[in-house]
Amino acid sequence: MRPLISIPEPIFKRGETLVKVEKHPQFLSILKGWASLRGSCEFFENLQLKDDSELTIIDTDAGIEHFGRGVERGVDIIIMVVDPSYESIQLAHKINSLAETISKPIYFVLNKVKAEIKDNLKNAVPSNKVIGVIPNNNEIFSSGFLGKEIDTKIEELDRLSEILMNILLTTKT
């Protein structure tokens, strides 16, 4: 068994919850895929949390390939971001089916949503699983484009943050 890997110190606090981040390198060289993929699966399989007050969040790139790589074995829930595109909606349905196959709850966050398509997009995915709608917002776009932290007060982001924390913390109990 590999030795346990220590998690970095907390980087921010949400209420009484400390949030810690472990960042993975994406690629070491071309045509080799995720350089630490096998190590990542082993990492999550061997990760031992201190107690039930701790949880792990795995943020992956878009796609279904993670379901065949073993990442899904260690998760309790799946949260998928859905953009307003045909491909993203189709992927949401596929991942919803895969989540059901492995008996994992799944939730959707709709992203970059213009007011005039909000209802259509909500109805394009299992709407009872939609937990948040992020508006199409130039300040969010600019921050993402420039690689900067979002420093604008966006009510929907605050609401989504609270919903996510509640889901994650109730999943642990």
Amino acid of residue 50: K
- Alpha-carbon distances of 139 from 28, 62, 149, rounded to whole Å: 32, 23, 10
- Alpha-carbon distances of 121 from 22, 134, 148, rounded to whole Å: 32, 12, 27
CA–CA dist 171, 92 (Å, integer): 21
List per-residue pLDDT tens for the chain, 173 residues long.
444 444 445 444 455 555 555 555 444 444 444 444 455 566 666 667 777 666 667 777 777 777 776 677 667 888 899 999 999 999 999 999 988 988 889 999 999 999 999 999 999 999 899 999 999 988 888 888 888 887 778 888 888 888 888 887 777 65
- pLDDT of 44 reads 65
80 within 8 A of 107, measured Cβ to Cβ: yes
The pTM of the full predicted model, rounded to 2 decimals, is 0.73
Neighbours of 132 (CB within 10 A): 20
* Structure tokens belonging to residue 12: 């921010």
- pLDDT of 172 reads 60
Task: Render the chain in DSSP notation, one character per residue.
Answer: -PPPPPPPPP-EEETTEEE---PPP--SSTTS--TTHHHHHHHHHH---SSTT--------SSSGGGGTTGGGG-S-EEEEE-SSHHHHHHHHHHHHHHHHTT--EEEEEEEE-GGGHHHHHHHS-GGGEEEEEE--HHHHHHHHHT----S--HHHHHHHHHHHHHHHHHT-
Cα end-to-end span (Å), the chain: 28
- pLDDT of 39 reads 53
- pLDDT of 7 reads 47
Phi and psi at residue 167, to the nearest 5°? -60, -50
Whether the CA torsion 159, 163, 166, 168 is positive or negative: it is: negative
Q: Could you tell me which of 92, 52, 94 has the C-alpha nearest to residue 76? A: 52
